[in-house]
Structure 1
Amino acid sequence: MNESTIYYTYTDEAPALATASLLPIVQAYAAAANVNIETRDISLAGRILANFADHLPEGQRVADALAELGALAKTPEANIIKLPNISASIPQLKAAIAELQALGFNIPDYVDEPTTDAERDARSRYDKVKGSAVNPVLREGNSDRRAPLSVKAYARKHPHVNKPFAAGSKTRVATMGHDDFFSNEKSVVLAKADTLDIRHIAADGTVTDLKKGLKVLEGEIIDATFMNAAALDEFLAETLEQAKADNVLYSLHLKATMMKVSDPILFGHAVKAFFAEVFEKHGAALAAAGLSANDGLGSILAGLVNVAGGDQIAADFEAALAKGPRLSYVNSDKGITNLHVPSDVIVDASMPALIRNGGKLWGIDGSEDETLAVIPDSSYAGVYQATIEDVIENGPLDPATIGSVPNVGLMAQAAEEYGSHDKTFEIQSAGRVEVVNAAGEVLISHDVAGGDIWRATQTKDEPVRDWVKLAVTRARASKVPAIFWLDEARAHDANLIVKVNQYLADHDTKGLTIKIMAPAEATKYSLARIREGLDTISVTGNVLRDYNTDLFPILEVGTSAKMLSIVPLLNGGGLFETGAGGSAPKHVQQFLEENYLRWDSLGEFFALAASLEHLATTTGNSKAQVLADTLDRATGTFLEEDRSPGRKIGTIDNRGSHFYLALYWAQELAKQTVDQQLAEAFGALATTLTDSEDQIVAELLAVQGEPVDIVGYYLQNIDQVTAAMRPSATFNGALDSLAG
């Protein structure tokens, strides 16, 4: 392991395409400062192949890069730049498997209901890959996420538009408020290290072990809760009636990626509720064909070509679409509804987009309309309803004047990984689920019915201590209030509040404003302050961290992709995240059709600067600090000159934005006076890039407008991607000259 190495993750979709263009620039510049930039493949395809290495011949095997980085993240030398990766939903996972099989990789199918040992083994391996599999492994620290000053300044100077809600807007959030995860939660704090079992006791006394040998530490918080399936179905039926009566769009908002076990099941309930008559009539045929509502309407319709009478079933689905309340559409041109793909509508990105758009989503004809936003679990639904109410009452937020809501997020060591792990179950029969310690004592118990969704989660004590410390540190450094978004009426939060108060006493908080508020109240408090141009730190658990770091940035600066996301790792290393990837699939589609990549790599620029600075601090490499400082200044020029990708062909895309970063960075390096060797090395490059600007831009623009073939979607052909993403011979030659 080399302490002068930065590990740059190779991921998926648009970020992977962008890497083919940006990474050669980064490696060339870093080499001049004796910094190595190495890649590690944590893409969905890479994760799949690594988990089935024993099925593959030597030439097809790939290393388990995620496991390698996970071990690295626990060391002081860790310096990892993490780009957005696919948090695979079941449809995405199955599509990736099919693609890899078609490319000649001998990997097994994903079987929804495994019956053989081989199928169960394959399912177990795929369960390690799907959903938000990367984040719990790499996040050995808590999150410090905020808008860089340059981004905030740019947003104020060039504000985007947050639309007002129409007078009398019917847009609102619908949530259960009872019989859901929030209301059924129970929580305990372990007095000592222990080993727990989770078991289901059926009505007839049959005991089924759901999870055995769960090791827990002293002071660890263990939560368990369940979603009542019958109450969920009643709620969904009621909301469908409400949407139709109000003549608004019906839109379901879940997190079927991070919540990879629970939320696809919730999604399936919604699909069945909307198409209740179709499932009553054809449910047996669909089940026999292996077509699951959990995978979405799109997967079902695609699978009907192989089902006897499939044309009639498809016609019945179309009739039900016309008969039911009007659905919101992800892509009306392609007929993709809110219920087509569980990973298409992710609550943390979709709800801010709705609010920014004046409370409107898009219908079947592409027109905008008011919406009933359905968020079944009430844990955090109130955050979005409070924001809607604030905008209705006070008007849209003005990016030119508002303050900011940075976040300190509890996420270290898989804290609060709700619904996404091996402790979430769809209950098979009525009975009781118990969490039992090694002494046989029942710590938590729930009476459940068949179909209920039961889950447990862990939050270790050390991450909580570090989270409180980070919150105090940020509050002192920024001199703004820090608000812990915790609800004393919720079992888990009540235990966290005790710990927060205990660990706050370990710090000097004199002169600081540190409060604890329930999420909806904290939302109102923070919105009131940012309307006055003031900043407020939101200190949240893991799920709210995910939600808040999209909600406020999208309203403040137009996107969450431009945030600085630093994860100070518990053992002294650093993880630097590069923003959100929710728009990545749409960008790939445009690239394949037009050879135009809209992906904005600004998040990568910020992460790289922070990573270089961390390396300089930990290794004493002064040249790395010069790279970091000049990159910061170059990024400021980049923003001021508006060099982010345009929206359509004829303007510079992702590749053009990388050229301009390279140009401004070289210019800054050439004129800095801290390191004369670097100034001389980059002086010639700065001159070359400046003199060749028109030619390079012309070469980059010339390729636009034609389709591109990168062979695979999940396993992109590196050679073809590299050729497509580096089309300027002049620019490539200039970079080569830097290496001598």
Structure 2
Amino acid sequence: MAKIIYTHTDEAPMLATHSLLPVIQAYLGTAGVEVETRDISLAGRIAAAFGKEPDALAELGELAKTPEANIIKLPNISASMPQLNAAIAELQAQGMDLPNYDDASDEDKAKYDAVKGSAVNPVLREGNSDRRAPLAVKNYARKNPHSMGAWSADSKTNVATMGADDFRHNEQSVILPAEDTLKIQLVAADGNVTVLKEKLPVLAGEVVDSTVLRAAALDAFLAEQVKRAKDEGVLFSTHLKATMMKVSDPIIFGHVVKAFFPQTFEKFGKDLEAAGLSANNGLGGIFAGLAELPNGDEIKASFDAELADGPALAMVNSDKGITNLHVPSDVIVDASMPAMIRTSGQMWNAEGKQQDTLAVIPDSSYAGIYQAVIDDCKANGAYDPTTMGSVSNVGLMAQKAEEYGSHDKTFEIQTAGKVQVVNAAGEVLMEHDVEPGDIWRACQAKDAPIRDWVKLAVTRARASQTPAIFWLDSERAHDRNLIELVNKYLAMPEVVGDTTGLDIQIMSPVEATKFSIDRIRKGEDTISVTGNVLRDYNTDLFPILELGTSAKMLSVVPLMNGGGLFETGAGGSAPKHVQQLVEENYLRWDSLGEFLALAESLRHLSKTAGNESAAVLADALDKATEALLNNNKGPARKVGQIDNRGSHFYLAMYWAQELAAQTTDSKLAEAFAPVAKLLTENEQKITEELIGVQGQPADIGGYYRPDEEKTNAVMRPSATFNEALATLS
């Protein structure tokens, strides 16, 4: 029997799965397609790390290397420390024997650290990324434009970034001539050697980089930006990626917190440190722990005084007093910056009003792309969703390519000296002078993924007859090596095929941004071909401007060994949606990404398993999705209208109607005729049952690991709909 693996993840996508998966399993079962689940949620990963449950992520990681792989991957929590601690506490309360992080042994802390951040994606992504807006979604956005705030040429909004001594400016890079095993070591001023990483296996042709962000320069830069925001009368905000960059960016976030409250940390820093209240975890964690300190009220008063005296601070939730500096994972740069740009370049202040903002992005590697968009909006006004073109993305990410800051090759330096990358022969390949507090990191990109990335970019350019732009900065050591390899493979027809007539260029990220947004304003499309971090940035930036959300993107990962990974769009896992469900039994999460991914998964399955009925299901699903969009049956925005569950019902109804009416597969048509009739005739009753439960609190029995029975009851409240699905069993 043909098989698709549907991942069980976290938060809003997980809740939606309880409603949508029964539809998928019932419909696909008619074509002999089995749909299994694997738990890769944060709670599931913690349980697996301590041997309490099977390691589903490791299993899928091995499956992804096989031609049989067909995995639908939903968004999951890339945990920060506050989220990790909350999940541990919930599992403990449910009876799971787990140590607290702070009290854990080094071995157990290492298990927890492996769960943090972007732990899932590197394991599953044995291929490069192809993300684009499907035509039906783009057409819908043009007919039903989302709101775009007006821009003024007088806007004070800007990006602030470092001009020296950051990751971009200090980068070194080498291409390995042969297979080797490298070592990363810190040589102190007195000659003492500390091995930071004993063995780093590399392959011939692999690109390896190292760089350092200097703490003293970072602190000076941040102090300047706090003063600048105050002087200019704009909100202060910082935009990092403490999820994917799980080692480096929480540390940088801690520096930002300390820079905003210098007097408090000067006076009470040792007290906070002794109590385990780290700035790296944000104000939320510090404030929650102050009650346990004898001088907690005094410390809180000091924070409040500096908050009142400093620049206005951007808010995540002004109603609840949650600031930009409360939780490191609350403000993720790739989602927060385009959201700000969409809202007139403004964020929310403590009074719940929009205000111009100084967006502080310390590392200058990619900060310039946002400034380029802001400058364009100041000059030309907001973008028009009814006419603007699209920027799709081909992203380098296979085999953990360019996993900056999210792995075991990033360190906060404890001793002054030199960090060296040394080969097996003892030769120093790269070296940086370091001081205590500096953040040093290395990363890798193997040759096979790079070659596959170039090939995929050319394939997409050829298929769409669209310019493909490699976003590579010749002033960065890593990108110079990538440029060399890109040019090499573009000149090899045996790798990329015939490139005659194709518009393929290499530009710096800033120039590529300007090129792309110029085409956007003309209604023209462009393919951005980027490395891993920029892939994340671009697949939020442009879709949020074009479509209003990045969750509506089609995200296909052609796995290098012939399998398929189908991601359900970007956009995070929407904790606010979970809060709304618990408070008023209403889920706003839009499962459109799941619909799009499922159709592509079925098409892939039809080819690899020779299952013609799977292709019929896919075509009918696409038509159903288009009908859902055209009839505005996606989740509405408030209680009393259809929510995520209602959109699943309408997808099921339109899908059944399409299958009952199709003429290429009589068996499917016969199976779905009665279902289509039942759903169509009971449309009003089913929607009334779905809407009728709204407005009251919902009990799902947990956040990170809800109770299965309670969650099913909340997410499947229509008996009529459930009974209709059961007829397909």
Segment of structure 1 superposing worse, 438-447 or 276-285: 276-285
1:517 alignment partner in structure 2: 507
| Residue 578 in structure 1 maps to residue 568 in structure 2 | yes
How far residue 582 of structure 1 moved from its aligned partner, in angstroms, is: 2.7
Decide whether the 8 Å contact of 1:85 with 1:581 is kept in 2.
no
Q: State how far apart, in whole Å, the 1-side matches of 2:57 and 2:124 are.
A: 8
Counterpart-to-counterpart distance in 2, 1:469 and 1:416: 18
Q: Is the 1:175–1:376 Cα contact (8 Å) retained in structure 2?
A: yes
5 Å-filtered alignment, 1:11-30, equals 11-30=9-28
Q: Secondary structure at the match of 2:347?
A: strand
Distance 1:104 1:312 in 2: 37
Deviation of residue 583 (structure 1)? Answer: 5.6
- Segments ≥4 residues shifted beyond 2 Å: 580-583
Tell me the residue number matched to 2:396.
410
Deviation per CA, 1:246-286: give whole Å up to 9, x if none.
Answer: 00000100000000000000000000110111111111110
Measured in 2, the distance between the counterparts of 1:80 and 1:689 equals: 29
1:611 aligns with 601
**3-state SS in 2 of match to 1:435:** strand
CA offset digits 1:296-334 (Å, max 9, x no partner): 000000011111111221121111111111000000000
Question: Once the two structures are superposed, what CA deviation does each residue of 1:77-128 show, in whole Å capped at 9, x if it has no partner?
Answer: 00000000000011111111111112111111112xx8xxx61001111111
2:29 matches 1:31: yes
1:41 maps to which residue? 39
Report Cα offsets for 1:442-483 as digits up to 9, x if no partner.
Answer: 000000000000000000000000000000000000001000
SS in 2 for 1:575: strand
Percent identity, please: 69
Among residues 176, 196, 199, which one is paired with 1:210 in the alignment? 196
Supply the AA of the counterpart residue of 2:298.
Q
The partner residue of 1:62 within 53, 66, 72 is 53
Alignment correspondent of 2:432: 446
The residue aligned with 1:124 is 110
CA shift, 1:166, in A, is 2.4
Q: Where in structure 2 are the equivalents of 1:260-409 lying within 5 Å?
A: 260-409=246-395
Does the alignment pair 1:8 with 2:6?
Answer: yes
Judge conservation of contact 1:143–1:409 (CA < 8 Å) in 2. yes
- One-letter amino acid matched to 2:141: A
Matched, 1:82 2:73: yes
Aligned partners of 1:16, 1:160: CA distance in 2, in Å?
26
Letter of the 1:171 counterpart: T
Shift in Å at residue 500 of structure 1? Answer: 0.2
Kept after mapping to 1: 8 A contact 2:4/2:71: yes
- Paired AA for residue 603 in structure 1: G
2:93 matches 1:102 = yes
Q: Deviations over 1:320-370 (max 9, x none)?
A: 111111000000000000000000000000000010001110000100000
| Distance in 2 (alpha carbons) for counterparts of 1:645 and 1:448 | 52
Quote the Cα distance in structure 2 between the aligned partners of 1:639 and 1:190: 50
CA distance in 1: counterparts of 2:23 and 2:173, whole angstroms: 50
Which among 250, 260, 267 is matched to residue 236 of structure 2?
250
Equivalents in 2 of 1:194, 1:378: separation in Å? 31
For 1:282 and 1:699, locate their aligned partners in 2 and report how far apart those are by CA, in whole Å.
56
Q: Name 1:684's counterpart in structure 2.
A: 674
Q: Is the 8 A contact 1:83 1:577 kept in 2?
A: yes
In the alignment, structure 1 residue 564 sits paired with structure 2 residue 562: no
Native 8 Å contact 2:11 2:573 kept in 1: no
- What do the CA deviations read for 1:557-611 (whole angstroms, capped 9, x no partner)? 1100000000000000000000124361000011110000000000000000000
Q: 1:669 is matched with which residue: 659, 676, 679?
A: 659
1:71 is aligned to 62
Distance 2:453 2:29 in 1: 35
- Which residue number corresponds to residue 185 of structure 1? 171
Cα separation, 2, equivalents of 1:351 and 1:519: 16
Q: Is the 8 A contact 2:130 2:393 kept in 1?
A: yes
TM-score w.r.t. the length of structure 2 is 0.99
Residue 420 (1) aligns with residue 410 (2):
no
1:91 aligned onto 2:82: yes
User: Which residues of structure 2 form unaligned runs of 5+?
Assistant: none
1:17/1:725 contact within 8 Å kept: yes
How far off is 1:391 after superposition?
1.0
Query: Which residue is 1:141 aligned to?
Result: 127
- Counterpart of 1:312 in structure 2: which amino acid? E
Query: Within 2, Cα distance between the matches of 1:20 and 1:728?
Result: 13
Asked if structure 1 preserves the Cα contact closer than 8 Å seen for 2:92 and 2:98, the reply is yes
Query: Partners in 1 of 2:153 and 2:440 — Cα distance?
Result: 41
Q: One-letter code of the match for 2:501?
A: G
Q: Is the 8 A contact 1:407 1:538 kept in 2?
A: yes
1:540 corresponds in structure 2 to 530
Mapped to 2, the partners of 1:589 and 1:530 lie a distance apart of 36
Is residue 2:632 matched to residue 1:646? no
C-alpha distance in structure 2 between counterparts of 1:145 and 1:536, whole Å: 12
2:328 and 2:540 map into 1 onto residues whose CA distance is 19
Q: CA deviation at 1:75?
A: 0.1
Q: Distance in 2 between matches of 1:177 and 1:624?
A: 54
Letter in 1 for 2:20: L
Match for 2:693: what amino acid?
Answer: V
Q: Distance in 2 between matches of 1:628 and 1:677?
A: 16
Whether 2:412 is the aligned partner of 1:431: answer no
Residue 446 of structure 2 corresponds to residue 460 of structure 1: yes
Looking at structure 2, the residues matched to 67 and 473 of structure 1 have their Cα atoms a distance apart, in angstroms, of: 31
Contact persistence 2:335–2:571 (CA under 8 A): no
CA contact (8 A) 1:164 1:392 kept: no
Secondary structure class of the residue paired with 1:738: coil
SS in 1 for 2:432: strand
Q: Paired residues, what number? A: 725
For residue 596 of structure 1, give the secondary structure of its aligned residue in structure 2: coil
Unaligned runs of 5+ in 1: 54-60
Deviations 1:612-644 (A, max 9, x none): 000001111011000000000000001000111
Cα distance between partner residues in 2 of 1:456 and 1:583: 29
Structure 1 residue 392: Cα displacement: 1.0
SS in 2 for 1:340: coil
From the superposition, tell whether residues 421 and 440 of structure 1 become closer, same or farther in structure 2 (CA, over 3 Å): same
Matched, 1:223 2:200: no
Q: Give the TM-score normalised by structure 1.
A: 0.97
SS in 2 for 1:499: helix
Q: 1:623 and 2:613 equivalent?
A: yes
- SS of the residue 2:701 aligns to: coil
- SS for the counterpart of 2:167 is coil
**Residue by residue, what CA displacement relative to the aligned partner does 1:198-254 show, whole Å, maximum 9, x if unpaired?**
000111111100001110000000000010000000000000000000000001000
Larger CA deviation: 29-38 vs 711-720:
711-720
Residues in 2 aligned to 1:394 and 1:16: alpha-carbon distance in whole angstroms: 40
Pair 1:715-2:710 in alignment: no
